[in-house]
Structure 1
Amino acid sequence: MSALRRQIRQTLTIARRDFTATVFTPIFLLFLFAPVVMASFGAIGGLGAASVSQGATDKARLVAMLPIGVVPALHAADEQLRPLFDGEARPPALMWRAPASDAAHAAHAALKATSSDVTAVLYGSLDRPAIVYAAGRRQDARYLATVARQAALIERAGSVPPAPRLERVVIDTPTLGGRGAASFAAVFGIFFLTLFLSGQVVGTMAEERNNKVIEILAAAVPLESVFLGKLLGMYGVAVLFIAFWATVLSQIGMLLPGDMGGDMAQFHPAIGILPFALLFAAYFTTAYLLLGSVFLGVGAQASTMREVQMLSLPITIAQVAMFGLASAAVSHPGSWLAIAAELFPLSSPFAMAGRAAAGTALWPHLALLAWQLLWVAIFITVGARLFRRGVLQSGSAKPVWRRLLPRRSDARVM
């Protein structure tokens, strides 16, 4: 058996060992269903906040103190303008009150009343309207002013104009907005997956350092094979996690309403769905291997779980920084910032995934994938050497490329 085949076999043995040791445990089920727990807590908090916000919105009111004759035009204007707002942006309900002799004093009194939450009051006339509003509710006052202008136009026209006929058309071709959304989604998707999955690589060496297993492995297998094998084993765990949740979400996606499916059609990468999916998987792989190799090399220097926990914060900051750099790069394609993000090893997978959604050229992706894999090899080699010298206190071994080449004496015999 050649040296290369032996090292590949040793690497795969370490990967299989770490994969089975992680997956075939009850703790892995908790890790697998961690998104459900996180989503449950998020949903509970979101529902509580939404109920409080919705309750406050339902109690708020806009008041119009105008003559009774302009009320039909006022309500017609409100019916035309209110559909333009959706969700939390929808203004409070509009109600009419009879104007008082001192309109300004009555408007201020309505704002200060404790019986109802009045946010803005329109008084005077449609020709010369006046509005008072509570602090922080300037948007409601602007809406009320727009309603007054629209009602004045309806009054002058003498009738409410007919509503236009709306026709919905689904555009199959990708739009610029759809490409931009796909680019950001690609960057965010890789960032979220690597943030959630690659952090576990940090602590893979700490336990084996404590129980002296790493010394046995280092005596039998080259450290480069140990590092790469552990990295591949954790990558297999990440792929299993993604495959499980991708299957679950694909079944849930079949239950989406038709309108939502039509809106998702605009979310279309320029390079095509299938090439984009392949490139996304490739860039997630390189992003995981790059960040994982760095985290593995840094985490290998930690001897206790407390030190591993202390490393979690700078690791998270590094991942967020790569996400910010890649997000800025996809917002300014072709700029020096984009080029720097695409060439810097740790941010390159994020930025190139965004570029895959916005462009159609394939050769830059092949070149950058090779570039990223080269840096994976560099990070693993450097991490193994630092571990060998700093932790095992042993001398530097021959580089892996020299061990894989045949000896000069063997070459002469052949």
Structure 2
Amino acid sequence: MSSLRRLLRQTMTIARRDFVATVYTPIFLLFLFAPLIMVAFSTIGAMGAAQAADHGADRVRIVAIVPDALAGSLNEADRRSRTIFRRDEEPPELVTLTATSDPAAQARAAFESREYDATAVLYGPLDRPIILYGARGTRAADYLVVLAGQALAAERLDGRLPDVAATKTLFARQRATLGGQNQTAFLAVFGVFFLTLFLAGQVVGTMAEERSNKVIEVLAAAVPLEAVFLGKLLGMFGVAVLFIGFWGTVLGQVTSLLPPALGGVVGELSPAIGLPMFTVLFVAYFTMAYLLLGSVFLTIGAQATTMREIQMLSLPITIVQVGMFSLTLSGLSEPGGWLALVAEVFPLSSPFAMAGVAAASDALWPHALALAWQALWVALFVTLGARLFRRGVLQSGSARPFWRRKRAEG
């Protein structure tokens, strides 16, 4: 048996061992359903916040103090204008009041009304209206200006605006829009980032139990440490694939029930390279992102001696991941710029950046080069991690991490 084949066999043995040890435990079910638990609590909080917001929004009004002869024109203009707003974007309900001899005092009194919460109040002639508005009434004040203009036009056209009989036809695009490609690029980067943030951090603690029960010495004596590191990395990656496969199947069934309107919005997110190839590249870049970050985290976690140290490493690891995400987003804002090039070349951010490139560009050759570049760094990180563990932790039976040894030697 060749040395390469033996190394691969040993690696897969370690991977299978870690995969089975992780999946065949009750705690894995809690990990598998963790997104459902988070979504449930988030939904409960969002519903509570929405109910509180809706309760307050129900009392908000915009007020127009005008003569009775103009009230009908204003209400008609308001009815027509609201058709262009989504339900959650509609201006507050319009209230028209009959103007008195002192409309300015009447406008100020409208803000003190106990029947509603006035956010903007209009009074005066429609060609030169005066509008008072509250702290969050800027848009409501602008809306009242539009209503005043439409009502004034209606009065000058014998009291009614002309009706427009438009023919509206739904058109299906043959290619994705530039905005859709940019949105797809952002979603691709966020998808890779979220999955690695949620899953890759699990690799940090995989060596802790092995070191505590002295199993790592047995493994190191039986197989090369490179095989141990790569096997553990692949084993945890298998757990991640199982997790994604489960939730991908669930979400696939849910999205098939989306209404046609939302289905059209999803269709606008078509990547430039085509959906089949984009799916392949997204999976490939998630794999590389997991292996790159996982190999770094495995190397760092292997130096820790206690669970307390592993917990303390969680914050720096999260900061690194968020930093790579921020670097990639900065590069996406200026495609072809030097920051985008840095994000595409730097190994830890390269999978994020290239996932965005796959959505915004139809060229294939950069992806072959990027995947080879990332695979090279995975091999380097695994090799470096094994050597640091061999020379540091296992040397002379020492279990102290390298930063403690340097401090002791100093």
User: TM-score if structure 2 supplies the norm length?
Assistant: 0.94
| 1:394 Cα deviation after fit | 5.3
| 1:86 Cα deviation after fit | 2.4
For residues 318 and 374 of structure 2, the distance between their equivalents in structure 1, rounded to whole angstroms, comes to 20
The amino acid across from 2:240 in the alignment is A
The answer (yes or no) to whether the contact 1:296–1:383 under 8 Å persists in 2 is yes
RMSD: 1.3
5+ residue gaps, structure 1, are 396-414
The amino acid across from 1:241 in the alignment is F
Measured against aligned partners, the alpha-carbon deviations of 1:360-410 in whole angstroms (never above 9, x if no partner) come to 111110011000000001111111111112211159xxxxxxxxxxxxxxx
- Say if 2:214 is the partner of 1:212: yes
| 1:87 Cα deviation after fit | 4.3
The answer (yes or no) to whether the contact 1:179–1:357 under 8 Å persists in 2 is yes
Q: How does 1:207-246 map to 2 (within 5 A)?
A: 207-246=209-248
Match of 1:51 in 2: 51
Measured against aligned partners, the alpha-carbon deviations of 1:93-140 in whole angstroms (never above 9, x if no partner) come to 001111121110111011122332111111112132111112232221
Measured against aligned partners, the alpha-carbon deviations of 1:188-245 in whole angstroms (never above 9, x if no partner) come to 0000000010010011111111111111111111111100000000000000011111
- Say if 2:36 is the partner of 1:36: yes
For residues 239 and 107 of structure 1, the distance between their equivalents in structure 2, rounded to whole angstroms, comes to 63
The answer (yes or no) to whether the contact 2:62–2:94 under 8 Å persists in 1 is yes
The amino acid across from 1:99 in the alignment is A
Give secondary structure in 2 for the equivalent of 1:205: helix
The amino acid across from 1:175 in the alignment is T
Decide whether aligned partners of structure 1 residues 87 and 380 sit closer, same or farther in structure 2, where only a CA change above 3 A counts: farther
For residues 83 and 137 of structure 2, the distance between their equivalents in structure 1, rounded to whole angstroms, comes to 19
Measured against aligned partners, the alpha-carbon deviations of 1:149-172 in whole angstroms (never above 9, x if no partner) come to 121122212222214333222213
The amino acid across from 2:161 in the alignment is V
The answer (yes or no) to whether the contact 1:286–1:372 under 8 Å persists in 2 is yes
Measured against aligned partners, the alpha-carbon deviations of 1:58-80 in whole angstroms (never above 9, x if no partner) come to 11011111011111210121122
Of residues 107-116 and 219-228 in structure 1, the stretch that sits farther from structure 2 once superposed is 107-116
The answer (yes or no) to whether the contact 2:343–2:350 under 8 Å persists in 1 is yes
Match of 1:398 in 2: none
| 1:53 Cα deviation after fit | 1.0
Match of 2:252 in 1: 250
Q: How does 1:106-255 map to 2 (within 5 A)?
A: 106-158=106-158, 159-163=160-164, 164-255=166-257
The answer (yes or no) to whether the contact 1:270–1:358 under 8 Å persists in 2 is yes
Match of 2:370 in 1: 368
For residues 265 and 308 of structure 1, the distance between their equivalents in structure 2, rounded to whole angstroms, comes to 43
| 1:185 Cα deviation after fit | 0.7
Taking only the aligned residue pairs, the percentage that are identical comes to 60
For residues 310 and 381 of structure 1, the distance between their equivalents in structure 2, rounded to whole angstroms, comes to 25
The answer (yes or no) to whether the contact 2:153–2:161 under 8 Å persists in 1 is no
Of residues 344-353 and 97-106 in structure 1, the stretch that sits farther from structure 2 once superposed is 97-106
- Say if 2:78 is the partner of 1:78: yes
Measured against aligned partners, the alpha-carbon deviations of 1:3-45 in whole angstroms (never above 9, x if no partner) come to 1111111000000000000011111111111110000011011
Of residues 271-280 and 260-269 in structure 1, the stretch that sits farther from structure 2 once superposed is 260-269
Moved over 3 A (4+): none
Q: How does 1:1-40 map to 2 (within 5 A)?
A: 1-40=1-40
Corresponding residue pairs, total = 395
User: TM-score if structure 1 supplies the norm length?
Assistant: 0.93
For residues 356 and 288 of structure 1, the distance between their equivalents in structure 2, rounded to whole angstroms, comes to 18
For residues 321 and 88 of structure 1, the distance between their equivalents in structure 2, rounded to whole angstroms, comes to 34
For residues 64 and 56 of structure 2, the distance between their equivalents in structure 1, rounded to whole angstroms, comes to 20
Of residues 291-300 and 263-272 in structure 1, the stretch that sits farther from structure 2 once superposed is 263-272
Give secondary structure in 2 for the equivalent of 1:97: strand
Give secondary structure in 2 for the equivalent of 1:96: strand
The answer (yes or no) to whether the contact 1:172–1:265 under 8 Å persists in 2 is no
For residues 225 and 335 of structure 1, the distance between their equivalents in structure 2, rounded to whole angstroms, comes to 39
Of residues 18-27 and 138-147 in structure 1, the stretch that sits farther from structure 2 once superposed is 138-147
Measured against aligned partners, the alpha-carbon deviations of 1:222-280 in whole angstroms (never above 9, x if no partner) come to 11110000000000000001111111111111111011112211111011010000000
Match of 1:339 in 2: 341
| 1:187 Cα deviation after fit | 0.3
The answer (yes or no) to whether the contact 1:111–1:133 under 8 Å persists in 2 is no
- Say if 2:384 is the partner of 1:382: yes
Match of 1:407 in 2: none
Match of 1:60 in 2: 60
Match of 1:330 in 2: 332
Q: How does 1:227-376 map to 2 (within 5 A)?
A: 227-376=229-378
Give secondary structure in 2 for the equivalent of 1:65: strand
The answer (yes or no) to whether the contact 2:331–2:339 under 8 Å persists in 1 is yes
Give secondary structure in 1 for the equivalent of 2:98: coil
